[in-house]
């Protein structure tokens, strides 16, 4: 089975976010970076499927030159090779989901993957849309929020997480795309042998596809503002109490 895993380099959670001077993104030149956590679970699931079914795991990443850090980490954990769509550092973090998906699809289309895995969402933007749009770009059936994957009868049987503690089992033909929920498995870490082997594994650099225009742009990024406001509720005590309850329920949504 030939499996692709889409990964992203994101700012570490411990780093204190600082907005850039233009107010359009963070000052990532000063930041430290790591592998997007949901993508790590997608990679682990791909490696487990490879161990059961055989085949190849290819990591695919759109990002600046510094994204090689997380690509090498994925290779050290067990991926066989990588495809890196290298973009300018200034645009790497703030691109919209449609643009990312279209660029990845252009780089992946000729590979004819049997299965494509992505993390459910990214830790920085959290749209949860790249995998869905990528499935459309590649013409694949897809399923989201996956908690278990079984290969059977030339296709897949997957367990989806729904709301309220409910789950859903569905069947899909191959090729297909799945977005993986965090916690689906126990993550492995790179061994010294894996780290040494990763240095010799192929990372194919791909230029961004021409003519891909952003569907949206970030107008402003800012730190959440704290504000206080006092409202006086006039009237008799009983009427004021009813109005207060309504405000707490409908406006503040704390009850």
The answer to whether residue 46 is domain-embedded is yes
- The yes-or-no verdict on residue 194 having pLDDT over 80 is yes
pTM (two decimals) = 0.84
Output the pLDDT for position 212: 85
Q: 31-85 pLDDT, tens per residue?
A: 889 999 999 999 999 999 999 999 999 999 999 999 999 999 999 999 999 999 9
Output the pLDDT for position 1: 94
Is residue 65 within 8 Å of 89, Cβ to Cβ? yes
The answer to whether residue 179 is domain-embedded is yes
Output the pLDDT for position 93: 60
Q: Say which CATH number the domain at 126 has.
A: 3.40.50.620
Q: 120-169 pLDDT, tens per residue?
A: 999 988 889 999 999 999 999 999 999 999 998 889 999 999 988 899 99
The answer to whether residue 235 is domain-embedded is no
The answer to whether residue 99 is domain-embedded is yes
Domain residue limits at 51: 2-206
Of 145 and 93, the one with more pLDDT:
145
The answer to whether residue 115 is domain-embedded is yes
The answer to whether residue 161 is domain-embedded is yes
DSSP string, 102-168: HHHHHHHGGG--SEEEEESS-SSS----HHHHHHHHHT--EEEEEEEEEEETTEEEEEEE-GGG-EE
The answer to whether residue 221 is domain-embedded is no
Number of structural domains (the chain) is: 1
**pLDDT (mean) for 103-108:** 96
């Amino acid at each position: 089975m030939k499996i692709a895993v889409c990964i992203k380099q994101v700012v570490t959670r411990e780093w204190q976010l600082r907005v850039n001077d233009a107010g359009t993104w963070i000052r990532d030149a000063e930041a430290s970076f790591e592998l997007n956590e949901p993508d790590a679970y997608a990679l682990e699931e791909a490696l487990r499927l490879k161990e059961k079914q055989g085949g190849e795991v290819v990591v695919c990443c759109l990002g600046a030159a510094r994204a090689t850090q997380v690509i090498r980490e994925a290779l050290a954990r067990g991926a066989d090779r990588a495809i890196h769509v290298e973009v300018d550092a200034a645009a790497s973090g703030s691109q919209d989901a449609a643009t990312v998906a279209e660029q990845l699809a252009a780089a992946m289309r000729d590979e004819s993957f049997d299965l494509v895995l992505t993390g459910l969402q990214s830790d920085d933007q959290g749209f949860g849309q790249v995998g869905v749009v990528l499935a459309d770009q590649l013409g694949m059936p897809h399923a989201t929020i996956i908690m278990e994957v079984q290969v059977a009868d030339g296709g897949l049987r997957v367990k989806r997480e729904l709301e309220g503690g409910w789950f859903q089992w569905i069947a899909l033909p191959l090729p297909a795309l799945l977005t993986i929920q965090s916690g689906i498995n126990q993550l492995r870490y790179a061994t010294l042998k894996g780290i040494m082997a990763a240095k010799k594994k192929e990372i194919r650099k791909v230029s961004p596809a021409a003519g891909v225009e952003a569907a949206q742009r970030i107008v402003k990024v800012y730190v959440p503002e704290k504000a206080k406001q006092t409202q006086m509720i006039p009237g008799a005590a009983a009427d004021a109490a009813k109005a207060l309850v309504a405000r707490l329920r409908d406006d503040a949504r704390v009850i």
